[in-house]
Amino acid sequence: MKLFYNAHFWINGAFDDTVKGVLTKDGKIADILWSDLNAYSNVEHIDLMGCFMFPGFIDTHTHSFEGGLYSLMIDLNEATCIRDVLDMIAQGSKNKGNYIFAWNFDETKITENRFPSRKELDGVLPNKNLVLRRIDGHSCMVNQFACDSILGNATKLHCEDEVFRGIENDKAVHWFHNNIDDELILKAYHAAADIALKGGFTTIHTMVGDANMSNGHYLLLKDHLKDFAIDFELYPQSFNIDNTLNLGAKRIGGCILADGSIGSMTAALYEPYMGKPMRGTLYQTDHFWNEFIQKAHYHNLQVAVHCIGDRAIDQINKIYYQLAMQDYKDLRHQLIHCEITDDILLEHIHQSKAVPVMQPNFDMLWGGDSGFYAKLLGAERVRNMNRFGSMMDKGITITGSSDWYITDLNITSSIYAALNHHNVKERLSLAKAVKIYTENAAWLSHDENRRGSIQKGYDADFSVLKQNPETASLNNPTNVAMIIKKAEVVYEDMPH
């Protein structure tokens, strides 16, 4: 038995400073103690030094393979010009093997306001496979060596356009991922688990598969789940329902795409992008989605579909609504990202009982009347984006995530972003911000009776922060004091 004490304990949606400690036994919460602790002198005491203990935080949408893999590669976040990009690739590719990933590239932060050319990439890395990936994951480039390798593998890729978008982007990136060996795959997930712990999480949902017909290394990861300090909730990320059922999975999807991204102007909109004729792209027909989602629903699979623009959200939600009216099952189908929603669409989501899986950091990074989104969509449409407050007020169950590697896997920044939405009407209280990463997140995976709350009989999973996230500074990247998984301390950085 272990007794965790001397903390501000988050109980029933608030800090309860009358709680003296939490007693655990066999990886479960045995009791919440309001009385003197002297009666428990014979158990191990763990002093939390006045920190803030929450139920274990859960991130409900990550690309952990990519995030872990890319963390071992070349981060272009600090690049300010093409020369920086090329120097980082030349330096960072040393001793990295034959498959090189440069990620976090944002051309809007580059002086030249463009991608490097393929010729420029070839000049610094002519003889290894290189992919340079935009920050949103929906555009990429490869060098000529990689282009020749991909074409030599009989992959139908059109290399004439140097920047790949949409389907071509997916083909190129997944070709790279499919050529990574098992050792590096597992190394990537261990790196992801370490980043999750430091970011404050005990559980993260992760996508596995090529977003087409392959579920990739799903079985490899499933066979090694006990090797990690955190829990991974696995999503077979493909359209292959038969294979998913054979894997014994409970869900299907993740970033199977109804549309693209705003940054790449491929998110499907009802109104065109500012100053452009295009309205983005619906990647599949209504008929395709209807057949796929209905079949998955029939087989009791929870479905998760990436949909950012209002046109794509509406396309997917209409099918969820039809199923809710005609063949309701408590499967908790997901609308991943669900960024642009007017009041009418919010009402339709409420009726369908779909679950928006949201990313507060998106608004913090790109929201606001003069932010990146506003430049592409206009300030009026931006006010209908990332509507956390409106959704929760309407009774829609939303969950919180980072979409890591797209934004940082960090609970402090995620909660800060939810509390400080650019649109005051969409801001969440601390109680609601914590809820979307605990109770609601546990409910999404049908784990509401064992996770997401500090109460007797639940798993002893706790995230302990040094500062109250309501007052924590974004300039303090080390706010996590301790992560406890089934009563075992798996990460510790206590204040001195």
Specify whether 27 is located in the same domain as 90: no
Please count the structural domains in the chain. 3
- Report the distance separating Cα 399 and Cα 295, nearest Å: 25
Q: For residue 204, which of 249, 238, 244, 234 has the smallest C-alpha distance?
A: 234
According to DSSP, the β-strands at 74-75 and 99-105 are parallel
Which amino acid, residue 219? L
Could you tell me if 270 and 336 lie in one domain? yes
CATH number for the domain that contains residue 115: 3.10.310.70
Are 288 and 341 found together in one domain?
yes
Which CATH number goes with the domain that contains 292? 3.20.20.140
Q: What pLDDT is attached to residue 477?
A: 64
293-300: long-range pairs with CB below 8 Å, 24+:
293/319, 293/320, 293/323, 293/333, 294/319, 294/323, 295/241, 296/241, 296/252, 296/253, 297/323, 297/327, 297/329, 297/331, 297/333, 299/241, 299/245, 300/329, 300/331
Residues 300 and 408 in one domain: yes
Range of the domain at 12: 2-56+457-492
CB contact at 8 A, 235 and 204 = no
Query: Domain boundary residue among 150, 178, 206?
Result: 178
Q: Are residues 255 and 397 in the same domain?
A: yes
Instruction: Return the pLDDT at 153.
Output: 65
49: CATH: 2.30.40.10
CA 151 to chain centre: 31
Examine the domain organization and report whether 332 and 470 are in the same domain: no
Contact 89, 100 (CB under 8 A): yes
Hey, what are 42's tokens? Answer: 């014979």
User: What digits encode the pLDDT tens for the residues 403-436?
Assistant: 999 999 999 999 999 999 999 999 999 999 999 9
Based on the domain organization, do 275 and 370 belong to the same domain?
Answer: yes
The pLDDT confidence band at residue 95, using thresholds 50, 70 and 90, is confident
Same domain, 470 and 331: no
Strands 44-55 and 21-25, bridge-based pairing: unpaired
Res 366: pLDDT: 96
398 and 474 part of one domain: no
pLDDT tens readout for residues 32-66: 999 888 889 899 999 999 999 999 999 999 999 99
Report d(CA 293, CA 302) in Å as an integer.
Answer: 9
If asked whether residues 96 and 38 sit together in one domain, one would say no
Do the Cβ atoms of 135 and 106 come closer than 8 Å?
yes
| Any domain includes 189 | no
- Other beta carbons within 10 angstroms of residue 56's beta carbon come to 29
pLDDT, tens only, 381-406:
999 999 999 999 999 999 999 999 99
Q: Mean pLDDT score of the chain, rounded to an integer?
A: 95
225, part of any domain: no
